[in-house]
Structure 1
């Protein structure tokens, strides 16, 4: 019983960490998209005054954090309730999260690799302004700090995805252990007592 309780507590703590990774990821993705939109607006306004705003602006991109928030909440609840069906439901949601976020993790690592690459040789930094020379259009200027912030947020989102994935995997294993463990049935056991002979 003690070991089962210990596994439940560990599952609750790790599920809370999954929840924290999901919330942090949602916040960072929201900020990242706002900064990317600002960067795109700054660059495209110099190329053509009549550009179209990107279509992903209206999408609730922070929703990607729910992939970790949902199993995190379910794992925390199951750690307190300790019902076998909750462990099974949590395990199923966690497995789906591992599959989906594994794909997005690969995409995020590729995107961070692209962001981390050095700027083109045609770009020159003067103070806080980066100027890129181009044979097709006039020089394009943008805020170098803004690009650094975008890179940093991209790395941060990827790190949260990695930690969230690892914590979700651990939580899934613990839920599987708790769901498959046999319950100790405690009750009253009846035993036949030998009859006593009385001598009169």
Structure 2
């Protein structure tokens, strides 16, 4: 699912009985929305965690982007702080988008489109290396795609994990939780490579 500003595929942590195999899948709208919210929350916290406490008051007849700017200014007095204009726009945008959801189209309409896999820029999969270690692999179609793709890539697990931690691949800024993984900077450092590997530890919860 490709949503504005972020690309998400659904994969799963392989089942314990099938090491070194991956299970492909696609995201539902709810899955994509969940991961998109997680990414926006992380970005907002990275700027300043106090903005996570902000609640968009939508009691106005027609709340809009300008409304949230006014509310943020009133609550945090941002005009008195030395914040870069670009960062300020990010704060406004993230606070607005985090609490705003727009769905276009008829929810009763169902369409199935032919998928041309030759046009896919990348594929993702999980490998189970051992009982508690796993590897997430991103493979791009070619070097050009690998060096020009910059959107975060997120994946949901079908099984939750605990005692989790990243082992290798910190340079790609992975976010690991008990039920999803997001790679913030999925561009291979080796300019001749088309593959990124993230190793992580996690105990499967059945």
TM-score range, shorter chain: under 0.3
- Whichever structure has more strand as a proportion of its residues is 2
Which structure has greater helix proportion?
Answer: 1
TM-score (norm 2): 0.22
Higher RCO (CA < 8 A, seq sep 6+): 1
Scaled by the length of structure 1, the TM-score of the pair is 0.22
